[in-house]
Structures are given as C-alpha cells and as structure tokens.
Chains A and B, each alone.
Chain A
C-alpha cells in the first residue's frame, strides 16, 4: 500500500486526536516498518489494519466508522495534493465516473507498483451513477468515505446507497442518485 495512506492516516490521528496518540498507536503495534512512513514509500497493507484496530481500541470508535472518517479526510487531502485531477470537472458524478479510466490510469503512471481497487462504473445519465468496488483489501468503508466527501465537496444533493455484494466486503455496490 502506498505510503501516502499511512502518512495521511497518522496526520489525521494527530489532528483529530493528538500527536501522542499517534505515537502510542505505533509504539503499541508491532509494525514491520516501525512506523517510519514516507509518502513515496510502499508498505504492507496489513499495517493500516493494525493501526486502525489500535485506534479503535484507544478511542472506542468502531472500525468501520473510523475508516469512513479517514476516507472523508483523505478526499480533502487528495484535493489539495492533486488539484490537476479536479480541473475541468463540473460535478461529483462527473468526477467519480472518471476514477477508473482517468485518475487510476494516471496514478499507475506515477506509481507503476501501486495496487488500486477496481471500480465498475455505470453512468447512464447525469443523475445516476453506479460504482461497484472490487478489492481484496476489503476497504469498502474507505471508498464510502471518499465518495461521501466527494458529494459534500461538490455541494450537491445526492443520495448514496451502499450494498455489500459479498460477505467479506470485497465487492460493494455504491448507487448515487441526484435528488430531484
């Protein structure tokens, strides 16, 4: 998993909770990397699971809620770090529908080793968008947070429905509908 996810996660912990808590999460978890993350590095994705579990234990907030909150936080960071992906994009569905064919393609150019989730996009008209998430990392919650924040970012009246298509959470369908 790309280091940016870890760096941003710890940033979030420092901002939302405290720098000490971030230290504690690292010190209390047995991380192969020792927690010395850099945004451009690549680390085992189980480390993020370990960190999130630790945060959940420390804060008493359920894991899914934490991951969704992180997704929302991460969207804001993406917007700051990669403004070029938002250029010429008029609305939320437009933006999300480009995830697979535009954004992930560019990310792959920058980081050829990056393992990205796959989205099946169905964008039949300007008011409906169906995104089916596939990933063996089971981070549907992260995707949900990202999508949710994307809707907020564009300040649009869109309802988001989520349906897990399997028990493990490897396949999740998100249905976005613009409010009439």
Chain B
C-alpha cells in the first residue's frame, strides 16, 4: 500500500486541509493577539488608575497626618495654657490657706483652713497627674540626673507621708537595706513613684500596715539595681483586676472611682517612669490579704562625695540671716503669698510686676530673685539673661517660680542663668530651704552636716 504512487487527488485534499488549518490557526492567532492587546490595555488602564488612587490616598493621608499633628500640637498648647490657668487660682487657694494657718486663729477656723489646704493640694495632685500623663503620652519622658542621698530622701518622704496620713490607723514602716551614700538619678520622678505606690497602698488599706522597703545591688562600675517594694495588708485584687492595673484611666473596678477617688493614672505614670529608668513594676496580690508592688530600677551611684547645693530632709541651722529678696511676679495673689511668707521667715521683700521693672529694682544688695516665668512686658527668662549681663558687684541667686516644672522649662531656665526652682504653689518649707540655700552661711552649714 505504501509503495503505490501518490494519488494527486488525495494530495490536493491534503493540501486543502493543511491550508484551511493554517488559515484557521492564523485567524485564532489574530483573535488571541487582539485579546492580549486589549487585556494589556485594560491592565495598563487599571495600573494607571491604581497609581492615581495611591497618589490620591497618599495626599489624603498626608493631609490627615498634618491635621492630626496640628490637633496634637493644639492639644499640647491647650494643656499648657489650662495648666497655667488652673494652677494660678489653685496656688492662691493653697498659698493663702497656708499663710492663714500661720496666723493666731481659733481651733475651728484652723481646722477649716486645714481642710481647704488639704483639698486644694489634692486637686493640684490630680491635675498634675493628668498633665503629667498627657506629657508622657505626647513625647518621651525626659529624666534628670540629680545627686541625692537615698537614705535622707526616703526618710524624708516617709516622714512627709506619715504626716499627711497621721489620721489613719495604718502603721507605716520603712525598711532600708545597705544603700550607697549618694545616687545619681531623677529624684523627683523616683519620689513620684514612691508616693503613687504609698498613696495607693494607703487608699486600699483599712488597718494593718504599709511597708516600704528599698534594697540595692551593685551591677559593677557605678551602676546599681534598686528594688523598691511597697507591701500592704489591704483589700487586695483579683487576677482580673491585676491585668488592667497599669492601663491608664483604669481602676480595679468602676465603683472604686467613687469609693476611693483618684484619676487611675498613678500606676500608668509610675510604670512609664520605671520603664524610662530601665526598669519595671510588677505586682503580687491576694484578695483580702494584701498587695505588694515591686519596682526594679537602674541608677548610678556617685563614687566620690561632692557637697550638694540643695539640701533636703534635715534642718538647716543657718536661719536668722535677713535676706533682700526681689519677687518678680505679675499675679497679685502670688505676690502677696510669696511676700508674706518671706517676711514671716524674717526677710526683706521688694516686688516687681514684670521683668522690665525687675531690671530697675535689682541691685548689689539683692541676695535672691524669685522669678516667675510668664509675665507681660518681659518674661522671666529674658529678665534673667539681662540681670546676668548687668554690671553688679555681686550677682544675686535667681530662683524660678514654675507652675509647670517640665524638664524643658528647667533646661531653658538653667541656660538663661537661673540657679534653682520653686514649684507653685509655694510652700513655706520649700521657700525656707531655697532661701536658706542663698544664705551666705549655708555652705558652712552643709559642710558641718556632712561630718
């Protein structure tokens, strides 16, 4: 069969088939090409559209981010302003009640004034907590490095706390392990943690004791690990309550707010401080038995003892020297409070309503300038810089009066040439210490105490 010669008709049919198949293939190819081309066009259009959408979304996001930033900035500014606006009248309430309590008064009025003072103080702490927390949320917490004696500070804090809670049938116990003579760290923030934990413990303990202990372990070099514990015999917490403990605006349960008060920010603030100090806070608790908070912190110890300029906790014996004080403050109530307090401490006071007036009144005879920050005409920083440039025989000590002692304010104050800080409301005791530091005999007193 395969040997027979090719049949022309068969070959013709084969050719026809092949030709038709080729044409069909070409038609299909053309069809496919067109499909591909169109699909390609669609993809391109789709891609363009996506790019356009991305650009649009990016613009929207940028705008939203801008708005959010501006809103956050406005919030910060608002907080700063409110902080000032709320504290100024509050300072008047606290300061004036403190002044009044120094007068000869019948017992009933003395008690009423004590209540006004205590409540004003409580309100201030509340506001400070809220502002403090907003600041911490808004930016990283900045820590100061101050030299301090842990033994003196803790004793002083415990004393202060004891006085505040003298009416409670709860025993306060302080246990100090072996501690370095001096530490380098943010004393104020450490105090804040201690007071937060102590206040908390006190709030939830009806009877028994609240025990504060501090131990220290060397980590080599000058680094130390501090373990601070606050243990109470209070109502304790359930595991569930414990979980929400360090969340801001949260209290163990909603009813606590009404029963025990507080913002619910104390622990959240304390935790953030501890974390900023390279540590943390944990908590053990049993319902009906008590609670123990344990704070782990890192600090540095001071190798050589240097004399410190600010003394705390112990009586300075250098009182009795009358100082010339220039109070630079635009608020009349504050002027009155500071002047009266200073006069009661036996000093001579002159008042300037703003920086410009202060420049006229400051002289060689001025021992100390108590300087407000925000004033009309000329603010405290500018005024300080100008005083430092004055050709005086003797430059006075300049102490800032700050309502909001944020770290950046302190930095600015130091840069401008200020020597110290007093937070409003001004307390007699704090003022006395600050004035004492300006006293010419102060250094002698410091040295004698060190022995």
Answer whether A and B are interacting partners.
yes
Name A's B-contacting residues (CB within 8 A).
18-20, 23, 26-27, 34-41
Name 12 extra pairs, CB < 8 A, besides A27-B13, A40-B28, A41-B28: A18-B1, A23-B10, A26-B17, A34-B17, A35-B17, A36-B19, A36-B24, A38-B21, A38-B22, A38-B28, A39-B25, A40-B32
Task: Tell me the complex Cα distance, A23–B18, Å.
Answer: 11
Report whether over half of chain B's contact residues are helix, strand or loop; otherwise say mixed.
Answer: helix
In angstroms, how far is the closest chain A Cβ from the Cβ of B40? 15
Instruction: Name A38's contact: one of B2, B13, B14, B24 (CB within 8 Å).
Output: B24
Which B residues from 1 to 56 make CB contacts under 8 A with A? Answer: 1-2, 10, 13-14, 16-22, 24-25, 28-29, 32
| Interchain CB contact under 8 A, B25 and A38 | yes
Chain A residues closer than 8 Å to B19, beta-carbon distance: 36
In angstroms, how far is the closest chain B Cβ from the Cβ of A108? 15
In angstroms, how far is the closest chain A Cβ from the Cβ of B36? 12
| Interchain CB contact under 8 A, A20 and B28 | no
Instruction: Give the interface size class of chain B.
Output: 10 to 19
Name B's A-contacting residues (CB within 8 A).
1-2, 10, 13-14, 16-22, 24-25, 28-29, 32
Chain B residues closer than 8 Å to A18, beta-carbon distance: 1-2
Q: A38-B28, A40-B28, A41-B28 known; A23 and B21 CB under 8 Å? A: no
Chain A residues closer than 8 Å to B10, beta-carbon distance: 20, 23, 27
In angstroms, how far is the closest chain A Cβ from the Cβ of B435? 86
Q: Which residue of B lies closest to A18 (CB)?
A: B2
Task: Tell me the complex Cα distance, A39–B10, Å.
Answer: 22
| Interchain CB contact under 8 A, A40 and B29 | yes
Q: Which residue of A lies closest to B10 (CB)?
A: A23
Q: A34-B20, A38-B21, A38-B28 known; A20 and B1 CB under 8 Å? A: yes
A-B pairs, top 4 by smallest CB distance, nearest first, are A36-B20, A38-B25, A36-B21, A36-B17
Chain A residues closer than 8 Å to B25, beta-carbon distance: 38-41
In angstroms, how far is the closest chain A Cβ from the Cβ of B339? 89
Q: Which residue of A lies closest to B11 (CB)?
A: A23
- A-B contact list, 9 entries, CB within 8 Å: A18-B2, A19-B14, A26-B17, A27-B13, A34-B17, A34-B20, A36-B16, A38-B22, A40-B32
Q: Which residue of B lies closest to A6 (CB)?
A: B21
| Interchain CB contact under 8 A, B20 and A20 | no
In angstroms, how far is the closest chain A Cβ from the Cβ of B160? 75
| Interchain CB contact under 8 A, B28 and A36 | no
In angstroms, how far is the closest chain A Cβ from the Cβ of B126? 65
In angstroms, how far is the closest chain A Cβ from the Cβ of B356? 83
Chain A residues closer than 8 Å to B28, beta-carbon distance: 38, 40-41
Chain B residues closer than 8 Å to A41, beta-carbon distance: 21, 24-25, 28
| Interchain CB contact under 8 A, B18 and A36 | yes
| Interchain CB contact under 8 A, A20 and B17 | no
Task: Tell me the complex Cα distance, A69–B343, Å.
Answer: 119
